Amino acid sequence: MSKPLFILSFFLCFAGTFAQQKLRRADKLFAEFAYTEAAQLYEEYLTGVKDPKPEVITHAADAYYFTAKMGGALRWYEKLYELQGAAMDDTHFRRYILALRGEERYERADELLFQRLDAIGDETLKKSFVNQKQHLDSLVKNADLYTVKNLDINTNKADFGTAFYGNKMVYASAKDTVKGGGKTYSWNQQPYLSLYVADRDTASGAFLNEKKFLAKTQTDYHNAAPAFSPDLKTVYYSANTVNKKDKLQNSVEGTNNIQLIKGEIKGDALVNVATLSFNSKDYSVGQPAVSADGHWLFFVSDMPGGYGETDIYIAQIFSDGVVGEPKNIGPEINTPGREMFPFINNDVLYFSSDGHYGLGGLDVFISKRTGEVQFEAPQNIGSPVNSNLDDFAFVTDNSGAFGYLSSNRAGGKGDDDIYYVAQVKKPCTHSIAGTVVNLKAKTPIEGADVKAYDEQGTLTASVKTDANGNYTLDIPCGKVVIEASKPEHTIVKIQPELLRIDFELSAYADLVKKEDNVERIDINPIYFDFDQYYITPQAAVELDKVVYVMQNFPDVVIKIESHTDSRGNDDYNMRLSDDRAKSTYSYIVSKGILPTRIESVKGYGESQLRNHCSNGVECTPEEHQLNRRSDFIVVKK
């Protein structure tokens, strides 16, 4: 071998060995969650390799993603998608979409997302995303309803996660100097988080006179995301899992997880400190929120059995302070992605998610709580509360007039910052969006009228639905009633509490049936007990359907016909059927239907039997019952 070739071979071999060492070092850092350093080493390695393995590209993208460096994450997720296409797993495809949104490439994100949903045939999820997108699009014009202001106490390190503490605010920050021994959090190379308490300036929302909160109680590691009982005597907060000597206690995989700490506040001290029963070193439990009545604890966990990366759970707080077993609040809220930082204000749940359709990263959503673990479809709160990056830990005062938000959006002081959010005090309108569909067929109703009325009953806005049954209506803030209607359909009125309302209307044709050229209101048979004419509970349910038709279609006029079976003599049955007809008439009129809308009330006795059970014919009780009925025949509409 010639000397130049020998030298070239030597350097190529050396360069290859050095590259492999760099990759091994990057993989080690990645496994230790030191993502900031790992991302830099992966970047250096990949720039010198022609055909890198997909798993290396995946680690590089994830390292950037986990540290919210969406430019770097997008670069490598795009490379991974070029290599894998439709075979890209769900987790990394979702992160790819979030990286696109993080770089505000919304059209490309939507194109890939809906292509994927069409390919896998998930029409339910597609419909959900379409509805959420339409709602989010409708909020663009309302972007000036809030002001969002960066607080002066923010630093170039992580500051986030506020909680109301009477007239004060408690929050987490990594601004403290590095603790003894040079401890930093390897994930982002910052000091561990500590809790601080500050006075809240009621005029500007600023934090003043901040200091460590219960300093002697906090661990030497992460302390964050506090929540307080209504009487402010009990605090729940998130902390690293440590042993009795305040040393990190890792899971079998080597991960140090977060646990929920509970304690009673006595002056500047925390007493009766305990970890909750469902904590585990094998998964994280944190980010607590307490309901206004103090009976429910919401929190976030990646415990086994959830729907995604992290889910929101709920547990009852008993009168003796014991916290019960946790329950997952379900797939209406939780997704395959991350649901985090719950906050409950009366019956409205605020939370952050990257699994629902949003602007990018974690977005703040709201959902009305309708039961213990029942919630309405969540709605994106829109900009400027949400941005293309992570927006989370949103809390408000009882009225919703102001609150605080945490975000790593552009323009901050560095990493996560705390923002003061206030409603703009000016004449206010907002958008209500939704769909109007047929109750029976679930098909969209085009040309339906959607109208808004104020407290005085004055019409304030109206619009017609499009070919897909969709509508968007600009309405004034405050109490309003939204009404959906269309000729030959029922009318539905709703007092909105969220920014999306879906209506279901019944067509007149779906509420009646034709038999022998006679149009009857379509109800189940009204059966009377033998030899009786009083209205049974079952009969009341069916008669309410008659009332519903007459209330919704005020031009409808009916006649009532009642029938008996053949048992008993003919004259008696004629009188009995007449009593039954009058009984149904009285019930309908008692519900506010004008008597003039009932043309006639007549009993036919046993003269119009529906089967063979005439006089002298043996029949079962069920066969006789078929003849004991009332009909409601439409004579005008």
- CA angle at 32 for the pair 23 and 342, rounded to the nearest 5°: 130
Indicate if the alpha-carbon torsion angle 184, 185, 190, 192 is positive or negative. negative
Please say whether the beta carbons of 280 and 304 come within 8 A.
no
Q: Please check whether residues 166 and 301 belong to one and the same domain.
A: yes
- Which of 233, 232, 235 minimizes the C-alpha distance to 218? 235
Q: Is residue 330 domain-shared with residue 216, that is, in the same domain?
A: yes
What pLDDT sits at residue 427? 62
Residues 119-146 have a mean pLDDT of 81
Mean pLDDT of 590-606: 92
Please say whether the beta carbons of 599 and 559 come within 8 A: yes
For 87, 251, 343, 514, 629, the CA distances from 610, given in Å and listed in that order, are 63, 74, 61, 16, 10
Residue 155 lies in a domain: yes
Please check whether residues 559 and 447 belong to one and the same domain: no
| Contact between 355 and 407 (Cβ < 8 Å) | no
Assign residue 453 a region (left: φ > 0; alpha: ψ between -120 and 50; beta: otherwise).
Answer: beta
Report residue 625's pLDDT band, with 50, 70 and 90 as the boundaries: confident
Query: Once rounded to an integer, what is the mean pLDDT over residues 540-558?
Result: 94
The rounded distance, in Å, linking the Cα atoms of 459 and 151 is 42
Range of the domain at 71: 20-121
Query: Is the separation of the CB atoms in 581 and 599 below 8 Å?
Result: no
- pLDDT number for residue 634: 94
Contacts 24+ apart (CB under 8 A), 86-93: 86/116, 86/119, 90/336, 91/309, 91/336, 92/58, 92/61, 92/62
Q: Do the domain assignments include residue 351?
A: yes
Q: What is the mean pLDDT of residues 158-162?
A: 92
CATH no. for residue 172?
Answer: 2.120.10.30
pLDDT above 70: residue 318: yes
Query: What string of DSSP letters covers 240-293?
Result: E-B-TTS-B---TTSPPPEEEEEEEEETTEEEEEEE-TT-BTTB-EEEEEE-TT
- 587 vs 550: CA distance, rounded Å: 13
Distant-in-sequence, close-in-space partners of 175: CB < 8 Å, separation ≥ 6: 155, 157, 159, 191
State how far the Cα of 319 lies from the Cα of 277, in Å rounded to an integer: 17
Residue 402 sits in the same domain as residue 438? no
Q: CA-to-CA distance for 193 and 258, rounded, in angstroms?
A: 12
pLDDT, tens digit, 9 for 90 and up, residues 569-589: 888 888 888 888 999 999 999
- The CATH code of the domain that includes 614 is 3.30.1330.60
In the chain, % of residues over pLDDT 70: 92
- Kindly indicate the confidence band of residue 48, based on its pLDDT and cuts at 50, 70 and 90: confident
Dihedral angle of Cα 307, 312, 313, 314, to the nearest 10 degrees: -150
As a residue count, the chain comes to 637
Do 276 and 411 lie in one domain? The reply is yes
Total domains, the chain = 4
| Most confident among 36-40, 163-167, 514-518 (mean pLDDT) | 163-167
pLDDT tens, position by position, 391-428? 999 999 988 889 999 999 999 998 899 999 998 766 66
- pLDDT band at 187, cuts 50/70/90? low
Average pLDDT over residues 378-390: 92
Bridge partners of 561, per DSSP, are 602, 631
Q: How confident is the model at residue 181 (pLDDT cuts 50, 70, 90)?
A: very low
Greatest C-alpha distance within the chain: 127
CA-nearest of 504, 483, 525 to 610 is: 525
In terms of phi and psi (left: phi > 0; alpha: psi -120 to 50; beta: otherwise), the region of 429 is: beta
Shared domain check, 316 and 167: yes
What is the DSSP track for 90-151?
Answer: HHHHHHHHHHHHHTT-HHHHHHHHHHHHHHHT-HHHHHHHHHHHHHHHHTGGGGGGEEEEE-
- What pLDDT sits at residue 2? 42
Average pLDDT (372-384) is: 91
Question: Whole-structure pTM over 0.75, yes or no?
Answer: no
DSSP string, 451-480: EEE-TT--EEEEEE--TTSEEEEEEESSS-
Cα distances from 300 to residues 288, 289, 406, in angstroms, run 7, 9, 17
Does residue 600 have a pLDDT over 90? yes
Per-residue pLDDT averaged across 496-520, rounded?
A: 88
Q: Is the pLDDT of residue 451 over 60?
A: yes
Average the pLDDT over each of 26-35, 55-64, 268-277, 353-362 and give the range with the smallest value: 26-35
| Residue, of 253 and 576, whose pLDDT is higher | 576
Run of H or E residues at 318: none
Distances (CA, A) of 447 to 30, 471, 485, 486, 502: 56, 10, 9, 7, 15
Query: What is d(CA 519, CA 510) in angstroms, rounded to the nearest whole number?
Result: 12
In a domain, 5, yes or no: no
Q: How far apart, in whole angstroms, are the C-alpha atoms of residue 185 and residue 192?
A: 6
Give me the chain's average pLDDT, please: 87
pLDDT-wise least confident of 31-35, 143-147, 482-486: 143-147
Query: Mean per-residue pLDDT for 155-170?
Result: 93
Amino acid in position 448: A
Q: Above 80 in pLDDT, residue 528? A: no
Q: Give a yes or no: residue 353 inside a domain.
A: yes
Which H/E stretch holds residue 76?
helix 70-84
Mean pLDDT of 243-271: 81
**115 pLDDT above the threshold of 70:** yes
pLDDT of residue 230: 95
Enter the tokens of residue 81: 């998608």
DSSP helix, strand, coil percent of the chain (3-state; round to 5): 25, 30, 40
**Residue 286: inside a domain:** yes
Predicted local distance difference test score (pLDDT) of residue 536: 85
CA angle 190, 313, 292 (to 5 degrees): 95
Checking if the pLDDT of 531 tops 80, the result is: no
Three-state SS string over 233-246 comes to CEEEEEEECECCCC
Phi, psi of 112 (to 5 degrees): -70, -40
pLDDT at residue number 335: 94
Residue written as tokens 């605020």?
350
Residue 263 has pLDDT above 60, yes or no: yes
Note whether 246 and 354 are same-domain residues: yes
Write down which residue in 423, 438, 460 finishes a domain: 423
Q: Are residues 373 and 398 in the same domain?
A: yes
User: Which of 482, 478, 503, 486 lies closest to 494, judged by CA?
Assistant: 482
Better pLDDT: 8 or 271: 271
199 and 328 share a domain? Answer: yes
Mean pLDDT confidence for 431-437: 92
CA–CA separation, 275 and 340 (whole Å): 20
Q: Is residue 451 part of a domain?
A: yes
User: Has residue 47 got a pLDDT over 50?
Assistant: yes
pLDDT band at 142 (very low <50, low <70, confident <90, very high): low
Do 453 and 339 sit in the same domain of this protein?
Answer: no
Q: Spell out the alpha helix ranges (H) of 303-442.
A: none
- In a shared domain, residues 382 and 436: no
8 falls within a domain: no
Q: Is the pLDDT of residue 266 over 80?
A: yes
User: Does 534 have pLDDT greater than 90?
Assistant: no
The mean pLDDT value for 244-254 works out to: 71
Helices 35-46 and 3-31, packing angle to 10 deg: 150
**Which residue has better confidence, 219 or 17?**
219
Q: Which of residues 506, 521, 551 is at a domain's end?
A: 506
> What pLDDT, on a 0 to 100 scale, did the predictor assign at position 11?
43
Do 239 and 385 have their domain in common?
Answer: yes
Q: What are phi and psi of 218, to 5 degrees?
A: -70, 150
- Burial pattern 143-156, b for ≥16 Cβ within 10 A else e, equals eebbebeebebbee
Asked whether the predicted pLDDT for residue 301 surpasses 80, the reply is: yes
